């Protein structure tokens, strides 16, 4: 019924307006769990269910990670939903994960009615207070009239500039109240104007430094992926012949089989890459934040380098490493500007020097710390997975947190942006299975591999039920099962005299667990069986869990011990490069 007073269409409940606001933001799927304070929204959702698909997860943490996986793999905003109190606090982990990894996420939570706010009402938690330090912005909405403007702003903030999470907490009475929505809302945020174009003088200064350098490097981070700058990066690298280093979140931004790709830096990066960083005279960081896992001891990082730092977030510049040429702007826009002014050059001698170091130090696949054993090594699993990925294409890989995550980064060949999805900044165990669900829904025609440790898998494996209920067929889980919280055990072995305190880990028979969920479960114990299991999983029309029972006490090398410079790497037990 048209509204007589305003002449602006029919009255709607706040909850209906929330649904319409989501549709206006092109949202088609969201992940959540209902409860008292968010029930009016679920009531309204029923009416929109054909266009707005709600995925019922088994834990709000899973809903948040699923929304993250959806966002990270597609570049769109992920949406998760929870009720007040414990529902909302269960979202804190994925929200902080999205914050650390600059993931566009809108988290919607129900809140107790405004009349009882602040009175410790049932399931009242101050979620806007809790999430202040881990959101780009958050809102407490107490009136239905505010919903169109708040949702528009939230999606704008989450997806522009440096992407990140935004939380919208809506009181139950605001969801129930009726009003005529005013959709003529303009985003007007005077304090929020992300800088896109880099300053032209700075861009010219960067071009001059890159032209004059003898030992230059491009260090590529998440910003290149987020801004869609892979083509510009390739053009810059090929124009200048400058070797390319990709951080954990930069993996895929530059094809690893390219002649200029030298690999990953940092704590579990390659010796030749860290050496190159320590020797370089110009280091151009594009969209990376000089995380301590990359820099090691920051005061000893790249001691001879003039640093160019391109970042959309001005607060990153100079935070960890001094920038001689800071450029605030979107990676793609800045690289385009740089391509207009940068002169063609080569760095062949420098690249040859790095390749020599690589030949000396890089150990890949089975050679890496592989004992004389007939048992299954993690490296056998990755070698088999790598060749399947290469042969078949159309895949995404989501990794959890720990040793298996670092092996995946090291031992798989990353070729395309948004194919490597991991929890890097927060290092959240339990990320992979639910995130893979989100990735699979965003990319139904691709095969999504979730690579987990047996520890992280046991944190969120209940989302397998969600995968089954949603009839998601393209998720394949590979558990690199070493019966330990492996990465912590490795530190205990290397740095704490093998005091295995709290790291010995049992688990169920994972193949039988998969079976209980109605999922094909496979167990692999011998090196020769890995490839066949991966092929079988790939060809199986449905989700699969493979339990790879690997040699138990294998370490990830190289490793930079905590607090050391990246020049000081261990390449084996008691062996230093
Ligand atoms: C939620 C959470 N709790 C604890 C940790 C600390 N942590 C980092 S790696 C790791 C061990 C992971 O073990 P597992 O999942 O089996 O993987 P693996 O290292 O054996 O490959 C732990 C406990 C974490 N990163 N996240």
- Residue of 62, 401, 484 to test ligand 1 pocket, by largest number of atoms within 8 Å of CB: 401
Q: What is the DSSP string of 389-405?
A: HHHH--EEEEE-SSHHH
Ligand 1 in reach of 93 Cβ (< 6 A): no
User: How many Å lie between the centroid of ligand 1 and the Cα of residue 330?
Assistant: 33
Q: Is the CB of 454 under 6 A from ligand 1?
A: yes
> Of residues 406, 487, 569, 570, which has the active-site annotation?
487
Our measurement of the distance from residue 79's CA atom to the centroid of its chain's CA atoms, rounded to an integer in Å, reads 15
- Top mutation candidate among 398, 431, 455 for ligand 1, by most atoms within 8 Å of CB: 455
Per-residue pLDDT of the chain (577 residues; tens, 9 = 90+): 444 444 467 999 999 999 999 999 999 999 999 999 999 999 999 999 999 999 999 999 999 999 999 999 999 999 999 999 999 999 999 999 999 999 999 999 999 999 999 999 999 999 999 999 999 999 999 999 999 999 999 999 999 999 999 999 999 999 999 999 999 988 899 999 999 999 999 999 999 999 999 999 999 999 999 999 999 999 999 999 999 999 999 999 999 999 999 999 999 999 999 999 999 999 999 999 999 999 999 999 999 999 999 999 999 999 999 999 999 999 999 999 999 999 999 999 999 999 999 998 876 544 555 566 789 999 999 999 999 999 999 999 999 999 999 999 999 999 999 999 999 999 999 999 999 999 999 999 999 999 999 999 999 999 999 999 999 999 999 999 999 999 999 999 999 999 999 999 999 999 999 999 999 999 999 999 999 999 999 999 999 999 999 999 999 999 999 899 999 999 988 888 8
Catalytic pick among 20, 25, 60, 232: 60
- Between CA 408 and CA 399 the distance in angstroms is 7
- Give the H or E element holding residue 215: none
Nearest-CA residue for atom 1 of ligand 1: 429
Cis, peptide link before residue 558, omega less than 30° from 0: yes
Chain-centroid distance of CA 460 in Å reads 17
Global pTM?
0.97
Look up 363 and say whether it is catalytic: no
| Residue owning the nearest CA to atom 3 of ligand 1 | 429
The CA distance from 505 to 377, in Å, is: 18
Place of tokens 């101050």: 126
Cα distance between residue 517 and residue 524, in whole Å: 19
Ligand 1 centre to CA of 432 (Å) is: 12
- Identify the helix (H) or strand (E) that includes residue 326: strand 325-328
Q: Is the CB of 403 under 6 A from ligand 1?
A: yes
Cα torsion for 97, 102, 108, 109, to the nearest 10°?
A: 40
Q: Is the dihedral of CA 107, 113, 114, 116 positive or negative?
A: negative
3-state secondary structure of 429: coil
- The alpha carbon of 454 and the centre of ligand 1 are apart by a number of angstroms equal to 9
319 is catalytic: no
Task: Give the C-alpha separation, 479 to 456, whole Å.
Answer: 9
CA distance readout (Å), 341 to 13, 331, 338, 345, 473? 55, 16, 5, 12, 48
Active site residue 123: yes
414/398 Cα distance (integer angstroms): 12
pLDDT in tens, 171-224: 999 999 999 999 998 889 999 999 999 999 999 999 999 999 999 999 999 999
Distance, CA 568 to ligand 1 centroid (Å)?
Answer: 24
Residue among 47, 122, 214, 562 flagged as catalytic: 122
Residues 254, 1: Cα–Cα separation, whole Å? 55
Q: Ligand 1 pocket check: which of 456, 477, 510, 562 to mutate, most ligand atoms within 8 Å of Cβ? A: 456
CA 415 and chain centroid, separation: 16
Task: Report how far ligand 1's centroid is from the alpha carbon of 486 (Å).
Answer: 7
Position in ligand 1 atom list of the atom nearest CA 427: 25
Q: Which atom of ligand 1 is nearest to the CA of 428?
A: 26
Q: Is 482 in the pocket of ligand 1 (CB under 6 A)?
A: yes
DSSP string, 79-136: EEEE-STHHHHTTHHHHHHHHHTT--EEEEEEE--GGGTTTT-TT---HHHHHGGGSS
**Measured between alpha carbons, how far is 82 from 170 in angstroms, rounded to an integer?**
11
pLDDT of residue 364: 59
Which is it for strands 53-56 and 29-32: parallel, antiparallel or unpaired?
parallel
CB 424 near ligand 1, within 6 Å: no
Helices 147-159 and 14-24 sit at what angle, rounded to 10 degrees?
30
**Residue to mutate (ligand 1; options 377, 485, 500; most atoms within 8 A of CB):** 485
Active site residue 564: no
36 lines ligand 1 (CB under 6 A): no
487 is catalytic: yes
d(CA 122, CA 142): 17
484 in contact with ligand 1, CB cutoff 6 A: yes
- pLDDT of 574 reads 85
CA of 14 to the centre of ligand 1 (A): 41
Terminal alpha carbon distance of the chain: 75
Considering only CA atoms, give the Rg of the chain.
Answer: 25
383 lines ligand 1 (CB under 6 A): no
Tell whether ligand 1 has an atom less than 6 A from the beta carbon of residue 65: no
Q: What are phi and psi of 377, to 5 degrees?
A: -100, 150
Catalytic residue, chosen from 136, 142, 172, 476, is 172
Give pLDDT, residue 2. Answer: 44
| Distance of CA 55 from the midpoint of ligand 1 (Å) | 27
Cα 117 to Cα 139, 171, 437, distances in angstroms: 15, 9, 35
């Amino acid at each position: 019924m048209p509204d007589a007073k305003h002449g602006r269409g029919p009255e709607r409940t706040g909850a209906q307006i929330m649904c319409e606001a989501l549709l206006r933001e092109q949202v088609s799927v969201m992940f959540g769990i209902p409860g008292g304070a968010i029930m009016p929204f679920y009531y309204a959702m029923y009416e929109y269910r054909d266009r707005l698909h709600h995925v019922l997860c088994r834990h709000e943490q899973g809903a948040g990670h699923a929304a993250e996986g959806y966002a990270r793999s597609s570049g769109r905003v992920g949406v998760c939903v929870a009720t007040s109190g414990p529902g909302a606090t269960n979202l804190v982990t994925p929200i902080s994960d999205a914050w650390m990894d600059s993931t566009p996420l809108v988290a919607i939570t129900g809140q107790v009615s405004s009349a009882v706010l602040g009175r410790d009402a049932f399931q009242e938690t101050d979620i806007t207070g809790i999430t202040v330090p881990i959101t780009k912005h958050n809102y407490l909405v107490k009136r239905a009239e505010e919903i169109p403007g708040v949702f528009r702003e939230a999606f704008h903030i989450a997806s522009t500039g440096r992407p990140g999470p935004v939380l919208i907490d809506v009181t139950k009475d605001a969801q129930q109240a009726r009003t005529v929505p005013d959709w003529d809302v303009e985003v007007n945020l005077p304090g929020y104007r992300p800088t896109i174009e880099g300053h032209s003088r700075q861009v010219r200064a960067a071009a001059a430094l890159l032209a004059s350098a003898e030992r230059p490097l491009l260090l590529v981070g998440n910003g290149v992926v987020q801004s869609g700058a892979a083509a510009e990066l390739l053009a810059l690298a090929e124009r200048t012949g400058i070797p390319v280093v990709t951080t954990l979140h930069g993996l895929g931004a530059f094809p690893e089989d390219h002649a200029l790709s030298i690999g990953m830096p940092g704590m579990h990066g390659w010796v030749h890459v860290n050496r190159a960083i320590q020797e370089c005279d110009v280091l151009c960081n594009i969209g990376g934040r000089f995380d301590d896992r990359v820099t090691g001891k920051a005061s000893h990082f790249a001691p001879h380098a003039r640093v160019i730092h391109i970042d959309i977030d001005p607060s990153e510049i100079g935070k960890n490493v001094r920038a001689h040429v800071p450029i605030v702007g979107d990676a793609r826009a800045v690289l385009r500007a740089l391509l207009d002014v940068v002169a063609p050059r080569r760095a062949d001698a420098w690249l040859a020097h790095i390749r020599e170091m690589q030949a000396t130090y890089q150990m890949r696949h089975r050679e890496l710390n592989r004992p004389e054993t007939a048992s299954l090594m993690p490296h056998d699993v990755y070698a088999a997975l790598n060749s399947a990925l290469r042969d078949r294409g159309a895949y995404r890989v989501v990794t959890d947190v720990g040793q298996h995550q670092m092996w995946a980064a090291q031992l798989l060949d990353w070729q395309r942006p948004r194919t490597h999805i991991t929890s890097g900044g927060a290092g959240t165990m339990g990320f992979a299975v639910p995130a893979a669900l989100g990735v699979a829904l965003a990319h139904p025609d691709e095969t999504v591999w979730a690579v987990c440790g047996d520890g992280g898998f046991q944190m969120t494996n209940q989302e397998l039920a969600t995968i089954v209920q949603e009839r998601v067929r393209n998720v394949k889980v590979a558990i690199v099962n070493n019966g330990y919280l492996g990465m912590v055990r490795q530190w205990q072995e290397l740095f704490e005299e093998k005091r295995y305190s709290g790291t010995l880990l049992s688990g169920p028979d994972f193949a039988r667990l998969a079976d209980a969920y109605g999922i094909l479960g496979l167990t692999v114990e011998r090196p020769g069986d890995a490839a066949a299991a991966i092929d079988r999983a790939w060809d199986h029309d449905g989700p699969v869990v493979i339990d790879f029972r690997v040699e138990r006490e294998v370490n990830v090398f190289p490793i930079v011990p905590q607090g050391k410079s990246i020049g000081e790497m261990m390449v084996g037990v008691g062996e230093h490069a």
